[in-house]
Structure 1
Amino acid sequence: MAVASRLDTGRAFAKVLLPTLAKGAIVRRPPVEATAEKLQLDEVAVAAMRRFRDRYGPEPLRLRVTGRSIALLLDAVDVSRLLAESPSPFALATREKKAALEHFQPHGVLISTGEARERRRALNDRVLRPDNIDVPGIVADEADLLLRHVRSTGRLTWDGFAQSWWRAARRIVLGSTARDDDELTDVLRALRSDANWAYLHRRREALRRRFDERLLGHLERGEPGSLAGLAPADELREQAPHWLFAFDSAGIATMRALAIGGAGQAGIWESVRLWPTTPVILRESTEHTRWHGTWLPAGTTFVVFAPFFHRDRDRLDYADEYTPHIWPMPPDPGLVPFSGGPGVCPGRDLVLVAASTMLDALRDHLDVPTLRAPLPATLNHFRLSFVTRKVDDGR
């Protein structure tokens, strides 16, 4: 297994990892997203990854980092193995992930291990089934109200979309009483902004308690027709922050799907393939593991840079095209928009139903300037806007 030169280790951080972190791993930063789109930083990152593979071969590339063992995956088959063998011996609860998520969700399933992880994962799998509540009905209600607003202004912007999307998210997770509780998700956003800095930002415990108390108030109602009505409040309070957090990424994917003329769940799948909302997937080995004849120590951090595997022109002849027909059974093991294996996103199906319902409700009422292939590697959702159709009589 190759070890990157110090120069290439620097390139890996400067061109791949640090720009991705700068955009915001937990909540997106609009100024950085705008700069990233202007410079097409994801294209730069994918090109750097291709050069690493050409120079060092397809095996995981070890980066020269003092005091750490870090392996950058370069082959889709290795991605499949890493995800299939999670959480043991490849734990989801990496040190960076724990440092970030503990700012707002210290007991989340993504940073849990052992029996606690099994219990919390089982709760997620049981509750986050889209047929448990009327997700399409909730989203359709909010889409109808949004369209009325859009018709009055003549344009759909990210800000207008996000306001309606968060109302739907709060109704789905907590019930209709929480629909207009902007303060809840505003406080969560502040905590997520802190989480972008992981261990470099102090934890604001008072703010987290304020969020937790407000969240618990909604959960204790157990409102029928919401996820809050499906399990005891004390169990849900550990996981609900992440459910709300995940709806942010789902909204981003929906707006981008509109920009490519997407439809249905395949449109959402493709949006997240083309522009992964979780661009870096991390795993950490809990024991010594053997990779292609090389033993890597326990505590090795494995890095999957999803845009590389999703946009690798050497592997995928459709890398930069809208290709909805490949879903839900993609032909390549490197296509992992919702992660994979035992650690696959437990809310994937619920998110697909909610996002595709919103997408299909909006798309026929907007003049969408559909992007054409080759699609850009970076797409700033904050600047997307769509005008209403000049004639919208429902035909």
Structure 2
Amino acid sequence: MTSTPLTRPVTASVTETLRVAAEVALPTLAGGVIKRRPIAMGLGGKLQVDRPAVKLLSRLRDRYDGRPLKLRVPGRSVALVLSAEDVGTLLAGAPTPFSPSTVEKRAALGHFQPHGVLISSAEHHRPRRRFTEAVLEPGRSLHELAAPFARATADEAAVLLREAGRELTWETFNVAWWRLVRTVVLGPGARDDETLTNLLERLRLDANWAYLHPRRKQLRERFHARLAEHLGRAEPGSLAASASARDDGTATDQVAHWLFAFDAAGMVTFRTLALLATHPAALERARAELPDADPAQPQQLSYLRACVLEAVRLWPTTPMILRETTEETAWGPAGTTVVVFTPFFHRDTELPYADRFEPDLWLDGRAEANPALVPFSAGPAICPGRDLVQFCTSTLLANLLRDHDFEQRTGPVLAPDRPLPATLDNFHLEFGVRPVPSRVR
């Protein structure tokens, strides 16, 4: 059990449950939980679907003094967390009594990684977590392979800028992002293997439907076989080399999850670019920390990392964090699903910085003091790739911003003197690109 006493829940009315379903759950599911749907995300951006969801949960929190809300879901025990303190308690309680392996995740992620650490039983969770941490090196700001990763990022950024010319779209960026991801994870030999990630995309689209979509065993076997070939090469300077040396027989499932997670990192990078393009003071500060040395050398880039974290706070890539109780707790019987809707806590109207771009939160201790600001989750089940993701995203941004200006041409207004939108559709953002002569070296 967790050492912190759990707040006694209250039971929602039928009307409140239906409103949570319609205004919180439905828009989140429509956007695609495992693989984002561009059309749905575009509509969500136009309707700003997260704004009414945040307002609804704010009213429920005030009405019930922040106590967890037991939703009236037929045949299920579901609790909705409404206080920052309870978020901290919940996430600290992994893997027992609050397991990250929930029935929803098992149904969804089982489509492409049935033995992934996130959905492993208690028996298998610890060894698979140790394997993942040994390869991804959480807690280390510069990965052991930071030097080859930095060189690959600089090379890919140069190719991207040539391909983009004077206009950068999501489509152009995303192709380059996946080339970089395949290089980092699997080595240069996988850089152009679009078939691999296309297979994964098809499986992830199925996974959006969880148990409502039949599993395509042959498709998954094709993906795993192709992935295993790359892992078998174990190219030096890639995560695959480290993974192969420690393989416990489930490496393909763990690596499949890393590829899946890097998709969200690409979205974050593009959104961070939009924020920096529209916030001149932040852009100037970010450029000030760029070294005059070779950009292909690994750097800490603390402010750019803070900008990335702030983009995730503003637009969480994991809008719902789920836990499942392994035993009876004050929040319900064993098997209770506990839900944290992260946009509510990240955009809480009681936060003075709720709707503005404030990277310093991640440098001055304010974010650390708030247990509900969880860009990479928190507690024992925190994302083990968080430091590697921050390194890759900040390094790519440094290479793009070093000698080029980006002007946002489409999408909602992002400005320092206006509240930032609650929902941001990255798929339809476009930027004008121009070299900055005074910065050309």
Question: TM-score scaled to structure 1, two decimals?
Answer: 0.95
Tell whether 2:337 aligns with 1:322.
no
2: CA distance between counterparts of 1:223 and 1:363? 30
* Deviation of the 1:390 alpha carbon: 5.9
Q: Deviations over 1:134-170 (max 9, x none)?
A: 322221211111112223xx11110000011000100
Letter paired with 1:387 = G
Write the mapping of 1:103-122 to structure 2, written as runs, cut at 5 A. 103-122=111-130
Match of 2:22 in 1: 14
Letter paired with 1:301 = T
Instruction: Report the secondary structure of 2:74's partner residue.
Output: coil
1:368 is matched with which residue: 372, 387, 407?
Answer: 407
* Deviation of the 1:115 alpha carbon: 2.7
Instruction: Report the secondary structure of 1:337's partner residue.
Output: coil
Match of 1:239 in 2: 254
Q: Deviations over 1:278-304 (max 9, x none)?
A: 00000000001135xxxx211111000
Q: Deviations over 1:218-238 (max 9, x none)?
A: 000111100110133544212
Contact 1:19 1:41 in 2 (8 A): yes
Write the mapping of 1:98-137 to structure 2, written as runs, cut at 5 A. 98-129=106-137, 130-133=142-145, 134-137=148-151
Match of 1:387 in 2: 432
Contact 2:405 2:436 in 1 (8 A): no
2:157 is matched with which residue: 143, 166, 190?
Answer: 143
2: CA distance between counterparts of 1:160 and 1:367? 14
Match of 1:82 in 2: 90
Match of 2:299 in 1: none
Q: Deviations over 1:361-389 (max 9, x none)?
A: 11341333482231000000001111112
Contact 2:320 2:341 in 1 (8 A): yes
Instruction: Report the secondary structure of 1:57's partner residue.
Output: coil
Contact 1:258 1:368 in 2 (8 A): no
2: CA distance between counterparts of 1:290 and 1:272? 31
1:155 is matched with which residue: 142, 160, 167?
Answer: 167
Contact 1:228 1:236 in 2 (8 A): no
Letter paired with 1:299 = G
Instruction: Report the secondary structure of 1:283's partner residue.
Output: strand
Match of 1:343 in 2: 381
Letter paired with 1:254 = T
Tell whether 2:217 aligns with 1:205.
yes
Instruction: Report the secondary structure of 1:223's partner residue.
Output: coil
1: CA distance between counterparts of 2:243 and 2:271? 33
Return closer, same or farther for 1:221/1:336 CA change in 2, 3 Å cut-off. Answer: same
Match of 2:181 in 1: 169
Match of 2:200 in 1: 188
Gaps of 5+ in 2: 1-8, 277-281, 287-303
2: CA distance between counterparts of 1:180 and 1:251? 17
2: CA distance between counterparts of 1:167 and 1:367? 22
Match of 2:274 in 1: 259
* Deviation of the 1:42 alpha carbon: 0.5
1: CA distance between counterparts of 2:357 and 2:198? 34
Letter paired with 2:373 = L
* Deviation of the 1:326 alpha carbon: 1.2
* Deviation of the 1:267 alpha carbon: 1.0
1: CA distance between counterparts of 2:132 and 2:150? 20
Contact 2:313 2:374 in 1 (8 A): yes
Instruction: Report the secondary structure of 2:356's partner residue.
Output: coil
Contact 1:103 1:204 in 2 (8 A): yes
Letter paired with 1:105 = Q
Q: Deviations over 1:223-263 (max 9, x none)?
A: 11001101335442120100001111000000000111164
Instruction: Report the secondary structure of 1:104's partner residue.
Output: coil
Contact 1:366 1:386 in 2 (8 A): no
Q: Deviations over 1:291-329 (max 9, x none)?
A: 5xxxx2111110000000000012x10000111111154
Instruction: Report the secondary structure of 1:74's partner residue.
Output: coil
Contact 2:186 2:239 in 1 (8 A): yes
* Deviation of the 1:56 alpha carbon: 2.3
Instruction: Report the secondary structure of 1:272's partner residue.
Output: helix
Q: Deviations over 1:30-56 (max 9, x none)?
A: 110011011100111111111111222
- Between 1:157-166 and 1:131-140, the stretch displaced more is 131-140
2:13 is matched with which residue: 5, 30, 35?
Answer: 5
* Deviation of the 1:132 alpha carbon: 2.5
- Between 1:228-237 and 1:66-75, the stretch displaced more is 228-237
* Deviation of the 1:391 alpha carbon: 4.5
2: CA distance between counterparts of 1:164 and 1:123? 28
* Deviation of the 1:393 alpha carbon: 5.6
Q: Deviations over 1:75-123 (max 9, x none)?
A: 0000000000111110000000000000000000000022311011001
Instruction: Report the secondary structure of 2:168's partner residue.
Output: strand
Contact 1:135 1:353 in 2 (8 A): no
Instruction: Report the secondary structure of 1:388's partner residue.
Output: strand
Q: Deviations over 1:56-91 (max 9, x none)?
A: 220100101111110000000000000001111100
CA RMSD of aligned residues (A): 1.4
- Between 1:340-349 and 1:256-265, the stretch displaced more is 256-265
Contact 1:280 1:303 in 2 (8 A): yes
| Identity in percent | 53
2: CA distance between counterparts of 1:363 and 1:305? 33
Gaps of 5+ in 1: none
Instruction: Report the secondary structure of 1:68's partner residue.
Output: coil
